[in-house]
Amino acid sequence: MLDAPVRGVLDRINDADAGTRLRVVVAAPGGYGKTALLSEITNTAVRVVDDAHLLDDASLRALAAEPLLVLAHRPWPRRAALAELTHGAVVVPLAPLTRDQVRELLNAGKPVADFVYAQTLGVPRFVERLGAATEVSADVLAAFRAELDWLDPDLQKFLIAAEAGAGQRLDLLSALLDKDFDEVSDIIEAARATGMLAEDGTLLPLALRAVGSLTRTERRIAVRQKLAQLQLDRGGPVLDLVRPLLDTGIGGPVFVAAAREALSSDPALAARLFKASTGGGTPSAETAASWATASAMAGDLDGALRLADQVISAPDSPHRRTAAEVAAVALAHRGQLARSTELFRWAATPYAAAFAGIGLIGTGHLFEETPPQPPTMLGGAASLMLQGVRQSVAGAETAALSTLVRASSMLEPAGGAVLLPDSPAALAALVALHCGEPNVAESVLDRAVENGTGGVLMSVRHRLLQAWLHMLRGNLAVARETLLSVRGAFEPRDWIFAVALEVGVARRNSDLATLRRTWEQACEAVLRHPVDLFSLLPLGEFAAAAARLRDQERLAPHLAQASALLRSLGNPPLWAAQVHWGLLHAAIIDENSAAAEEHAAALAACRDSSRYCLILSGAAECWLDVVAGKVDADRVEEAARSLHAVGLWWDASRLAGQAAIRTSDRQAMVRLLDCARLLQGRPVSARRASEAADVVPVAEDAGKLSDREREVAQLVLEGMTYRQVGDRLFISAKTVEHHMARMRQRLGSTSRSDLLGQLRHILG
């Protein structure tokens, strides 16, 4: 393992004659291999001295007469007698092993060698101590005890400070050790001489773990606590010093300072630090308000509301308004928008005034006042959010969407460091969904998720709205996968969207069993979440599901509240159109032609307000004609493609498919089925081939099925009824029955169970 220069000096020592005068010095920190090098000296005429730094001055001077002398010593302590003895000597430099040398020494593979090198930085003693291991065992750490125990107290205290990350802070070390800077520098040099420090003055990773493991807990706590207090007195960051002191039972101002430092990046940690700061006692109003903020940002709304309520209840506290803002945010996520708005208005801070305005509109109250906002990112975003929501109910749809997108962009740099009742990205996505701009909704949500806008508290809402987009586009598997990725204890506002997604996916999949199973949750979700402007989308899905399950009475009061809310806002087309579109489909499912015509008329009344309303109105009239059996293929295809253009891909495909199975014109049927498949994102060519000859000749192999037969078989094997299969594939239940009969004949099945068994085998 020796390099050429060191090997050359060693050869020179071993070849020296007894009368030759030669003096060699091997100076290196502990563990660098001095003793191992001395053991390679075979010349008996050479006087070899190890650990020469431990000799007294008299012993060192006595060695001056030795003609052949090799001394090994650590670079600290510096001794005048040792310097005099080694003056003019040949110096042998020893350095840590390289990564390749570690691999060669251990005769191990690259992953093992890389791990050992990362822990030891190549110091030979520690490499041998760790060996060819891939983890640090307790025995390896215990081997450091003897080295640590004989160090003097100041050096031990320095190593504890270095383990805490303060090994290079001379100001803190000077106060901690009660030494001047020169004395502290000497202690650092002594630590370097142990071999446990890296070139940059930090502890080697293996030594770091050893110091942390072998030092008495109370001593480590005392050193860290004093360092944190010293750092706090200097106005510096204390989080890294305080974090390991969590759960030790101590508290104090340093924990409050660390919590404020952690609030923007890790609110859950901040909440734990605020709790620890009390030492188990009652927090001050200021601490409780900050703790409530941290709890809310971490998603613990129960804790946030409890703490906020304590502060609000305290008379004459200057922190009551902050606590009211926190409670208002929590209640907004709980779906209590009216109560949230009251608290925001009571708080009367600049941010609260803007959010109160949004809440007022969301609960059906128009107003003209625009409160001034501070010139900050949050202030600017809050002002734009209020402006955008106001524009959305005033008929300025394009302006509203533009304003909310700008608000979202303005808040992106803040990431999760802000506490929001709702995010501008979520509001922008809702407006985009209500006015047929799915690409804008997708873009703004993707950016919000990527930047973590609103932190943990808003992340679920953003993901659920992404899933909603997938559902509208007919990407039902992706929508369900996205929904499953955010499973958990939903807050009521998120829960109503999550349940509506399950209901919507099940309805679109013709999965009646799941629809029935989820319906009770849907009814409970609606009860827990009062109707507001920003939760109208789920009501449309629930209305269609209620019609399918013939349970409209349970939803009727909530739909009446939605209608009253929209009337109080002047029936803004942007928000009303989507509601009428959902209720139109509920009426069609319920075969209630009067109600369907009423909602179609409502859509027609606002058709001139926007392109989206015009498309919905035209599609509604076309759909009613299709249900009545009047199928104009050109008109249906135009309406379906228009729906697809505004993001309603599944509805577009559904319209074309329903028209196809209701027309008696074979050519129009094939054309509309192709249109439905194309708008659904499925290949047309395969559809044309199967429609041209909807069966495979009986003479072909018995195991061969047509593309359409495979589709039918797969859905039947999944447990769907013939009607559900027909709904999915845009064919009649009778056609599904014919497909099954032909497959049974071709496969020679003797019974339905035999047929299903053969189909399972064929389809794997």
Q: What pLDDT does 727 receive? A: 78
pLDDT band at 280 (very low <50, low <70, confident <90, very high): confident
Q: What is the pLDDT of residues 285-318, one digit of tens each?
A: 999 999 999 999 999 999 999 999 999 998 888 8
For residues 457 and 18, give the distance between their C-alpha atoms in angstroms, rounded to a whole number. Answer: 82
In this prediction, residues 165-190 reach a mean pLDDT of: 91
Q: Is 170 exposed, middle or buried (0-12, 13-18, 19+ CB in 10 A)?
A: middle
- What is the dihedral sign for C-alpha 492, 495, 499, 505? positive
For residues 341 and 659, give the distance between their C-alpha atoms in angstroms, rounded to a whole number. Answer: 47
Q: What pLDDT does 120 receive? A: 95
SS3 (DSSP) at 612: helix
Q: CATH assignment of 699-764?
A: 1.10.10.10
In this prediction, residues 115-126 reach a mean pLDDT of: 94
Write out the H or E segment, with its range, that includes residue 169.
none
3-state SS record for 673-688: HHHHHHHCCCCHHHHH
Mean pLDDT of the chain: 89
H-helix segments, 150-204: 153-163, 170-177, 181-193
pLDDT band at 764 (very low <50, low <70, confident <90, very high): low
Q: What pLDDT does 686 receive? A: 45
Q: What is the pLDDT of residues 321-339, one digit of tens each?
A: 999 999 999 999 999 999 9
Token output for 504 = 């919507």
Higher confidence at residue 447 or residue 744? Answer: 447
pLDDT band at 29 (very low <50, low <70, confident <90, very high): very high
**Residue 158 contacts residue 167 (beta carbons within 8 Å):** yes
Q: What pLDDT does 704 receive? A: 65
Q: Which of 601, 585, 596 is nearest to 540 (CA)?
A: 585
For residues 143 and 121, give the distance between their C-alpha atoms in angstroms, rounded to a whole number. Answer: 18
In this prediction, residues 554-559 reach a mean pLDDT of: 94
Q: What angle is formed at CA 640 by the lines to CA 635 and CA 644, rounded to 5 degrees?
A: 150
Query: What is the per-residue DSSP string for 276-301?
Result: HHTTTSPPPHHHHHHHHHHHHHTT-H
DSSP state of 49: E
**Residue 96 contacts residue 50 (beta carbons within 8 Å):** no
3-state SS record for 628-648: CCCCCHHHHHHHHHHHHHCCC
pLDDT band at 733 (very low <50, low <70, confident <90, very high): confident
Other C-beta atoms closer than 10 Å to the C-beta of 334 total 20
Q: What is the pLDDT of residues 672-721, one digit of tens each?
A: 888 888 887 765 544 444 443 443 333 334 446 787 888 888 888 888 88
In this prediction, residues 436-460 reach a mean pLDDT of: 94
Q: How far apart are the first and last CA of the chain?
A: 61
Other C-beta atoms closer than 10 Å to the C-beta of 429 total 30
In this prediction, residues 391-419 reach a mean pLDDT of: 93
For residues 235 and 479, give the distance between their C-alpha atoms in angstroms, rounded to a whole number. Answer: 49
- Annotate 566-604 with b (16+ C-beta within 10 A) or e (fewer): beebebbbbbbbbbbbbbbbbbbbbeeeebbeebbebbb
Q: Which of 325, 726, 676, 654 is nearest to 504 (CA)?
A: 654
Name the strands in the sheet holding 68-73, side by side, starting at the edge strand that comes first in the sequence.
Answer: 47-49, 68-73, 22-27, 90-93
In this prediction, residues 249-260 reach a mean pLDDT of: 91
SS3 (DSSP) at 69: strand
Q: Is 560 exposed, middle or buried (0-12, 13-18, 19+ CB in 10 A)?
A: exposed
Amino acid identity for residue 649 in this structure: W
DSSP state of 121: T
- Annotate 392-412 with b (16+ C-beta within 10 A) or e (fewer): bbbebbeebbbbbbbbbbbbb
Backbone torsions φ then ψ of 623, nearest 5 degrees: -65, -40
pLDDT band at 478 (very low <50, low <70, confident <90, very high): very high
Q: What pLDDT does 511 receive? A: 85
Query: What is the per-residue DSSP string for 502-541?
Result: HHHHHHHTT-HHHHHHHHHHHHHHHHHS---GGGHHHHHH
Tokens 């209620």 sit on residue: 546
Share of the chain above pLDDT 90, in %: 65
This prediction has a pTM of 0.77
3-state SS record for 196-229: CECCCCCECHHHHHHHHHHCCHHHHHHHHHHHHH
pLDDT of 578 strictly over 90: yes
Write out the H or E segment, with its range, that includes residue 22.
strand 22-27
Contact residues for 562 (Cβ-Cβ < 8 A; gap 6+): 531, 536, 539, 579
Token output for 758 = 């053969």
DSSP state of 543: H
**Residue 440 contacts residue 425 (beta carbons within 8 Å):** no
Share of the chain above pLDDT 70, in %: 96
SS3 (DSSP) at 611: helix
**Residue 301 contacts residue 323 (beta carbons within 8 Å):** no
Of the candidate CATH numbers 3.50.50.60, 3.40.50.300, 2.120.10.70, 2.40.50.180, the domain formed by 4-95 belongs to 3.40.50.300
In this prediction, residues 348-371 reach a mean pLDDT of: 86
Amino acid identity for residue 405 in this structure: V
Domain ranges of the chain: 4-95, 100-260, 699-764
Token output for 83 = 């310097």
How far CA 99 is from CA of 112, 115, 388, in Å, comes to: 11, 10, 60
Token output for 429 = 């996505």
